[in-house]
Amino acid sequence: MVDVTPHGADLIPPAEVGEMELYHPHSWWTKYVFSQDAKVIAIQYAGTAMAIGLVALVLSWLMRLKLGFPDTFSFISPEAYYQFMTMHGMIMVIYLLTALFLGGFGNYLIPLMVGARDMVFPYVNMLSYWIYLVAVLVLVASFFAPGGPTGAGWTLYPPQSITSGTPGGQDWGIILMLVSLIIFIIGFTMGGLNYVVTVLQGRTRGMTLMRLPLTVWGIFTATVMALLAFPALFVACVMMLFDRIIGSSFFMPAIVEMGEQLPHNGGSPIMFQHLFWFFGHPEVYIVALPAFGIVSDLISTHARKNIFGYRMMVWAIVGIGALSFVVWAHHMYVSGMHPYFGFFFATTTLVIAVPTALKVYNWILTLWRGDIHLTIPMLFALGFIVTFVNGGLTGLFLGNVVVDVPLSDTMFVVAHFHMVMGVAPILVVFGAIYHWYPKVSGRMLNETLGRFHFWVTFLGAYLIFFPMHYIGLVGVPRRYPELGETAFVPPSVHTLNEFITIMALVVGFAQLVFLFNLLWSIRHGRDAGGNPWRATTLEWQTDGTPPPHGNFGKELPLVYRWAYDYSVPGAREDFIPQNDPWQPEGGRQ
């Protein structure tokens, strides 16, 4: 598509402020610590998210050691297992993936890709990061608080999340978890407003919505969703905090515990489940949509071909985002709700498969006859597509009430969601880091270490989670630290559990190699130049690498075309940057 209209948008977005009006930091502190530059904030977000993610990784090792070798690791008590599990799940979903995709990639990429000098409200953007950091610290504090962190499971279902039998329930654990989530949501809202307003109001001249790279579409839609979904979690957390601290009964029914009547009466635990999953299901797509967008850009760039069906891709992203607000109760098929209700949610759930499959077809058609370079970002992108399809297929099983009921709360579910929202988005995170690290640091990540990292992570993830489907199918329940000698559990399950644990350690080790690569390459990586992947989007067309404060030189780039002009016949090179006014001989095609 050669679409060259210099003033396509016919409007001058407000972000096009003169150099003079841009906020400039004056000291080291305001430049690197309390920075208002979205690029610095992005790195702060990403660094913090990866640090806390490492904690979640170690927790998964501890759980796996207990599951694989219960006798050797008998010192890991069931209480500790529940605490590790809860913290692992919550950290991975919220504090790592959400923070990294939106706070990390969102901050770095949105202003650069839309051609803005920075986010629209840089000060609020800075606050967003620091509030996120407080949320993380409060969460970490629960490891050191009396009673330790909560072991209620990442879903925090009442009443057990605040009754005394649950680790951290009668102590500080659950309080710190709820407070941390509340703080996280406040911080996220501050960042989220920035991402939305910058995309809507901060685009440079010619950057129409339909010329935005899909990465921006993914992050933008996910942010809008998060701004609508997080409030449900917010109120649920506040109400539960009241139940726990001042003895209100929003979610607490009358309970007799050890022969004693608790001071609660008349609340509805199911109400909490509705609120939680009204947030919880969209959360899956808050993580997945940025991944969809990024993968689209990675495969287009590294296959030197335009993305197939751009408009369809945009509408699929928006459609999936909207639909995912009406499927939440598929997490509650076994909660005792009316069966007809289940049919409604099964139907909406399966309808999501349509736009999702459409995206997969379009990725494949983009790759079809492309000039595929098996670079590391491309390998991770391909790994994502395979894994996402895989997890999506088991999702079709679980979306149907009659199949879900027997599989509910088995390891099959654990295998499914790790594939679809654990492994798949993490592969995109890695692909994206290999892709954009050269812009952030000016250097390439080491290729050999990168290939090692990819193959061990990709194959290892399958070796971990594939057998887990089988373990679930034979009926092994999730959230059980130990199976003991149970009649229905065949011996193969024990062998497989040992095998999975060893693979989890191996995959974890590969992540340490990746961390080493990240640090080592800052100084020793190969010089990247400004645009090592010969990509079209604006972040690669900056004056300096890393881009200076204010992103672009004196003039903001003028956008003439969409982001996918690769291998255009007759062009000088096999890519045409978005700010290149080139036209084919003889005018418009």
Q: With respect to ligand HEM, which residue has the nearer C-beta, 153 or 309?
A: 153
Least distance to ligand HEM from the beta carbon of 207, Å? 33
Which residue of 4, 414, 429, 518 would you call a contact of ligand HEM, by CB under 6 A? 414
* Contact flag: residue 199 with ligand HEM (CB under 6 A): no
Least distance to ligand HEM from the beta carbon of 272, Å? 15
Binding residues for ligand HEM, rule CB under 6 A, total 24
Q: Which does 154 bind (CB under 5 to 8 A by kind): Cu ion, ligand HEM, none?
A: ligand HEM
* Contact flag: residue 443 with Cu ion (CB under 5 A): no
Site for ligand HEM in 46-65 (CB under 6 A): 60, 63-64
- 500 class by beta-carbon count within 10 Å (0-12 exposed, 13-18 middle, 19+ buried): buried
Encoded tokens for 373: 């370079």
- Angstrom distance (rounded) from CA 203 to CA 217: 13
Element (H or E) spanning 524, and its range?
A: helix 491-524
Q: With respect to Cu ion, which residue has the nearer C-beta, 211 or 281?
A: 281
Least distance to Cu ion from the beta carbon of 284, Å? 6
Q: Which does 88 bind (CB under 5 to 8 A by kind): Cu ion, ligand HEM, none?
A: ligand HEM
Residue closest to Cu ion when measured from CB atoms: 281
In b/e form, how buried is each residue of 369-386, taking b as 16+ CB within 10 angstroms? ebeeeebbbbbbbbbbbe
**Long-range Cβ contact pairs of 24-29 (< 8 A, separation 24 or more):** 24/549, 25/549
Least distance to ligand HEM from the beta carbon of 445, Å? 21
∠ Cα 419 423 427 (to 5°): 140
* Contact flag: residue 418 with ligand HEM (CB under 6 A): yes
Q: How far is CA 184 from CA 128, 190, 353, in A?
A: 9, 10, 31
**119 in Cβ contact with 202 (< 8 Å):** yes
Q: Which does 281 bind (CB under 5 to 8 A by kind): Cu ion, ligand HEM, none?
A: Cu ion
**179 in Cβ contact with 238 (< 8 Å):** no
Which residue of 274, 281, 305, 435 would you call a contact of Cu ion, by CB under 5 A? 281
Least distance to Cu ion from the beta carbon of 335, Å? 14
**558 in Cβ contact with 206 (< 8 Å):** yes
- Angstrom distance (rounded) from CA 556 to CA 235: 42
Show the binding pattern over residues 487-526: x = contacts ligand HEM (CB under 6 A), - = does not.
Answer: -----------------x--xx------------------
Residue with tokens 């992050």: 219
Q: Which does 534 bind (CB under 5 to 8 A by kind): ligand HEM, Cu ion, none?
A: none
Which is nearest to 414 in space by CA: 128, 161, 122, 155?
Answer: 155
Q: With respect to Cu ion, which residue has the nearer C-beta, 4 or 332?
A: 332
Which is nearest to 134 in space by CA: 168, 172, 179?
Answer: 179
Site for Cu ion in 367-406 (CB under 5 A): none
Residue with tokens 């996918």: 564
DSSP 11: S
Handedness of CA 197, 209, 441, 445 (dihedral sign): positive
Q: With respect to ligand HEM, which residue has the nearer C-beta, 126 or 426?
A: 426
Q: With respect to ligand HEM, which residue has the nearer C-beta, 155 or 170?
A: 155
Least distance to ligand HEM from the beta carbon of 483, Å? 11
Q: How far is CA 276 from CA 234, 450, 466, in A?
A: 9, 38, 28
Show the binding pattern over residues 452-491: x = contacts ligand HEM (CB under 6 A), - = does not.
Answer: ------------x-------------xx------------
Contact segment (CB under 6 A) with ligand HEM among 274-282, 343-351, 419-427, 429-437 equals: 419-427
Residue length of the chain: 589
Site for ligand HEM in 72-111 (CB under 6 A): 85-86, 88-89, 92-93, 97
- Angstrom distance (rounded) from CA 9 to CA 115: 13
DSSP 559: P
Interface residues with ligand HEM (CB under 6 A) are 60, 63-64, 67, 85-86, 88-89, 92-93, 97, 153-154, 414, 418, 421-422, 426, 464, 478-479, 504, 507-508
Contacts with Cu ion, residue ranges (CB under 5 A): 281
